[in-house]
Amino acid sequence: MALNPKQQHLANQVTNGFKFPLYMLKSLPMGWIAGLRVRELNENKCTTSVPFKYLTKNPFKSTYFAVQSMAAELSTATPCLLAITGKKPSVAFIIVDLKATFTKKATGRVYFTCEDGAKAFAAVEKCIETGESAEATFKTIGKMKDGTVVSEFEFTWSFKQRKS
């Protein structure tokens, strides 16, 4: 499946190391303060990262769980945003469930990778075809640079057509 021009433009914007932080500063200041970044985005995969620094650590010398949650959510929300971009009728999405497991201390930059992007496109198509809401669950895994898994998240997103 190829991205439409609007979707490709969005993918280029969110992976831009200059433009995306400016967007974060304006629209999601806590994400900007934490240093969230989108590293990769296509129709199947999204990778985000969050640094380990003074503003993101907890008293136990690891990345605070809420900061990890922000980066994990971004890795599942961005494919959803990509899937609804340029669609008619317009589709909205919202989190309806979250599960998380923390396995190791995050003592370095954490990269969250979600490889369930196709689920977002399928849910949006189903929503548009049927006019009913659709749900999809996305798994994202947080790893440090050395490959150590520090956390795993599952976000369930609900998609619904907006009223005209």
Q: Contact 4/124 with Cβ under 8 angstroms?
A: no
Tokens of residue 58, six digits: 């907890």
Selection from 38, 42, 39 nearest residue 3 by Cα: 42
Looking at residue 55, the DSSP 8-state letter turns out to be: G
CATH class of the domain whose range is 5-161: alpha beta
Selection from 136, 145, 97, 96 nearest residue 117 by Cα: 136
The string of pLDDT tens digits covering residues 63-107 is 999 999 999 999 999 999 999 999 999 999 999 999 999 999 999
Is the pTM here over 0.75, yes or no? yes
Give DSSP secondary structure letters for 74-141: HHHHHHHHHHHTT-SS-EEEEEEEEEEEE-S---S-EEEEE--HHHHHHHHHHHHHHSS-EEEEEEEE
**Residue 92: other Cβ atoms inside 10 A:** 13
The answer, yes or no, to whether residue 139 has pLDDT greater than 80, is yes
